[in-house]
Amino acid sequence: MNKNKLENLYKKKIKLLNNYNKYYYDKSEPLISDSKYDELKSEILVLEQKYTFLKSIISPSNIIGYKPSKNFKKFQHRVSMLSLSNAFSEEDLKNFEKRILNFISKNEEFKISYSAEPKIDGISASLTYKNGKFERGLSRGDGRVGEDITANLATIKDIPKEISNKDFPKDIDIRGEVFIKNSDFENLKVKFANPRNAASGSLRQKNPEDTKKIPLNFIAYTFGFERGLKQKKQSDYLKKLDEWGFKANPLNKIISGIKNLIHNYNEVEKQRANLDFDIDGIVYKINDFELQKRLGNVANAPRWAIAHKFSSNKAISKILDIDIQIGRTGALTPVAKIKPVNIGGVLVSNATLHNEDEINRKDIRIDDTVIIERAGDVIPHILSVDINKRTKKSNKFIFPNKCPSCGSKTEKEFNKVTKKIDAVRRCSSKDYYCDRISIEKLKHFVSKEAFNIDGLGKKIIEEFWKLKFIKFPQDIFQLDYKKIEKLEGWGTLSVENLKYSINQKKNISLERLIFALGIRHIGLENAKLLSKHFISFSRFQNLSKLKNYDDLLNIDGIGETQVSSIKRFFANEINIKVLVELGKSLVIKNVLAKEQNGLLKDKSFLVTGKLNGISRAEVKSLIEENSGKIASSVSNKLNYLIIGDKPTRRKVETAKALKIKIINQDDFLKMLNKTS
Ligand code: IVH
Rama region for 377: left / alpha / beta (φ>0; ψ in -120 to 50; rest): alpha
Cβ of 306 less than 6 Å from ligand 1: no
Which atom of ligand 1 approaches the CA of 140 most closely? 10
For residue 152, the model assigns a pLDDT of 95
Count other C-beta atoms under 10 Å from residue 310's C-beta: 20
Number of domains in the chain: 6
Q: Do 473 and 522 have their domain in common? A: no
Binding site membership of 222 for ligand 1 (Cβ less than 6 Å): yes
Point out the ligand 1 atom lying closest to the alpha carbon of residue 301. 2
Q: Residue of the nearest CA to atom 23 in ligand 1?
A: 83
Q: Are residues 141 and 287 in the same domain?
A: yes
The β-bridge partners of 628 are: none
Last residue of a domain, one of 556, 589, 622: 589
Q: Could you list the residue range(s) of the whole structural domain that residue 17 is in?
A: 3-63
Cα 83 to ligand 1 centre (Å): 7
pLDDT at 267: 94
What CATH number is attached to the domain comprising 23?
A: 1.10.287.610
- Ligand 1 near 117 CB (within 6 A): yes
- Cβ of residue 283 lying under 6 Å from some atom of ligand 1: yes
Res 27: pLDDT: 52
Q: Are 581 and 644 members of one domain?
A: no
- Number of other CB atoms surrounding residue 320 within 10 Å: 15
Q: Rounded to an integer, what distance in angstroms lies between the CA atom of residue 126 and that of residue 200?
A: 14
**How far apart are the CA of 116 and the centre of ligand 1, in A?**
12
Question: How many whole angstroms from 349 Cα to the centroid of ligand 1?
Answer: 29
**Ligand 1 center–CA 119 separation, angstroms:** 7
Calculate how far, in angstroms, residue 84's C-alpha sits from the geometric centre of ligand 1. 7
- The CA 133 to ligand 1 mean position distance, Å, reads 24
> Distance between CA 179 and CA 196 in Å, rounded?
7
Q: Is residue 598 part of a domain?
A: no
Q: Is residue 268 part of a domain?
A: no
The structure's pTM equals: 0.57
Q: Is 307 in the pocket of ligand 1 (CB under 6 A)?
A: yes
CATH number of the domain that residue 573 is part of: 1.10.150.20
**433: Cβ–Cβ under 8 A, 6 or more apart, which residues?**
406, 408, 574
For residue 617, the domain's CATH number is: 3.40.50.10190
User: Which one-letter DSSP state was computed for residue 591?
Assistant: P
Where would I find the H helices in 386-480? Answer: 435-446, 458-466
Contact 431, 328 (CB under 8 A): no
Distance 56 CA to ligand 1 centre (A): 32
Give the domain-ending residue among 460, 476, 505.
505
C-alpha of residue 164 to centroid of ligand 1, in Å: 27
* Bridge partners, residue 372, by sequence: 315, 382
- Which residue CA neighbors atom 1 of ligand 1 most closely? 222
**Shared-domain flag, residues 478 and 395:** no
Cα–ligand 1 centroid distance for 236 (angstroms): 18
**Does residue 251 line the site of ligand 1, with CB under 6 A?**
no
Examine the domain organization and report whether 113 and 232 are in the same domain. yes
Q: Choose which residue among 120, 196, 285, 304 to substitute to test ligand 1 binding: the one with the highest number of ligand atoms within 8 A of its C-beta.
A: 120
Q: Are residues 462 and 538 in the same domain?
A: no
Determine the atom of ligand 1 nearest the C-alpha atom of 249.
15
Whether the CB of 177 sits within 6 Å of ligand 1:
yes
Q: Are 513 and 537 spatial neighbours (Cβ–Cβ below 8 Å)?
A: yes
Q: 507 pairs with which residues across the strands?
A: 587
- Look at residue 64 in the predicted model and tell me its pLDDT: 40
Per-residue model confidence (pLDDT) at position 567: 96
Give the C-alpha separation, 491 to 187, whole Å: 40
Q: Is 2 exposed, middle or buried (0-12, 13-18, 19+ CB in 10 A)?
A: exposed
pLDDT of the residue at 160: 97
Number of neighbours of residue 362 by Cβ within 10 angstroms: 16
**Looking at the chain, how many residues does it have?**
676
Q: In the annotation, is 133 catalytic?
A: no
| In contact, 429 and 476? CB cutoff 8 Å | no
Number of H helices, E strands in the chain: 24, 26
Out of 119, 233, 285, 441, pick the active-site residue: 119
Q: Which residues pair with 606 in a beta bridge?
A: 641
Please, what is the end-to-end C-alpha distance for the chain in angstroms? 79
Quote the CA–CA distance of 625 and 54 in Å, as a whole number: 55
Contact 138 CB / ligand 1 (< 6 Å): no
Instruction: Identify whether residues 493 and 547 lie together within a single domain.
Output: no
Q: Which residues contact 247 (CB under 8 A, 6 or more apart)?
A: 158, 217, 218, 219, 220, 241
Same domain? For 319 and 460 the reply is no
The verdict on residue 110 lying in a domain is yes
Helix (H, G, I), strand (E, B) or coil at 116: strand
CA of 118 to the centre of ligand 1 (A): 9
Instruction: Take atom 18 of ligand 1 and give the residue whose Cα is closest.
Output: 119
Residue 566: what are its φ and ψ, rounded to 5°? -65, -40
Cα–ligand 1 centroid distance for 318 (angstroms)? 35
- The C-alpha atoms of residue 661 and residue 657 are separated, in whole angstroms, by 11
d(CA 437, CA 405): 9
Mutate to test the pocket of ligand 1, among 283, 286, 306, 310 (most ligand atoms within 8 A of CB): 283
CB distance 332 to ligand 1 below 6 Å? no
d(CA 603, CA 599): 9
- Whether residues 420 and 488 share a domain: the answer is no
Which of the listed residues 80, 86, 177 should we mutate to test ligand 1's pocket, taking the one with most ligand atoms within 8 A of CB? 177
Q: Atom 3 (ligand 1): residue with closest C-alpha?
A: 221
User: Has residue 623 been placed in a domain?
Assistant: yes
Residue 72 lies in a domain: no
Q: How many C-beta atoms lie closer than 10 Å to residue 571's C-beta?
A: 12
CB distance 305 to ligand 1 below 6 Å: yes
Distance 90 CA to ligand 1 centre (A): 20
Residue nearest to atom 9 of ligand 1 (CA): 119
Indicate which residue's Cα is closest to atom 17 of ligand 1: 119
Does residue 259 contact residue 116 with C-beta atoms inside 8 Å?
Answer: no
Task: Tell me the mean pLDDT per 10 residues along the chain, length 676.
Answer: 84 84 60 70 79 71 47 90 89 94 92 96 95 96 90 96 96 97 82 79 87 92 97 98 97 96 94 86 97 89 93 84 95 94 79 91 92 80 88 90 96 86 93 96 94 92 96 97 93 92 95 96 92 95 93 86 95 96 96 78 92 86 87 90 94 95 95 83
**Considering only CA atoms, which residue is closest to atom 21 of ligand 1?**
124
- Report the relative pairing of strands 587-589 and 507-509 from DSSP bridges: parallel
Is the beta carbon of 119 within 6 A of some atom in ligand 1?
Answer: yes
Position 576 scores a pLDDT of 97
Are residues 142 and 188 part of one domain? yes
Q: Is 610 left (phi over 0), alpha (psi -120 to 50) or beta?
A: beta
Residues 143 and 241 in one domain: yes
Is residue 104 located within the same domain as residue 197?
yes
Helix (H), strand (E), coil (C) string for 251-305: CCEEEECHHHHHHHHHHHHHHHHHCCCCEEEEEEEECEHHHHHHHCEECCEECCE
Position 75 in a domain: no
Tell whether 284 is covered by a domain: yes
**Helix (H), strand (E), coil (C) string for 339-402:** EEEEECCEEEEEEECCCHHHHHHHCCCCCCEEEEEECCCCCCEEEEECHHHCCCCCCCCCCCCE
- Residue 87 Cβ contacting ligand 1 at under 6 Å: no
Q: Any idea what the Cα angle at residue 330 is, between residues 324 and 335, rounded to 5°? A: 20
**Could you tell me if residue 187 is inside a domain?**
yes
- DSSP string computed for 562-586: HHHHHHHHHHSHHHHHHHHHHHHH-
- Of ligand 1's listed atoms, the one at least distance from the Cα of 121 is 19
Beta bridge partners of 255: 114
The protein residue whose alpha carbon is closest to atom 20 in ligand 1 is 119
Rounded Cα–Cα distance for residues 274 and 538 (Å): 60
Q: Which of 375, 406, 427 is the last residue of a domain?
A: 427
d(CA 383, CA 371): 5
83 Cβ closer than 6 Å to some ligand 1 atom: yes
125 lines ligand 1 (CB under 6 A): no
Label the pairing between strands 640-643 and 604-608: parallel
Nearest CA to ligand 1 atom 13: 124
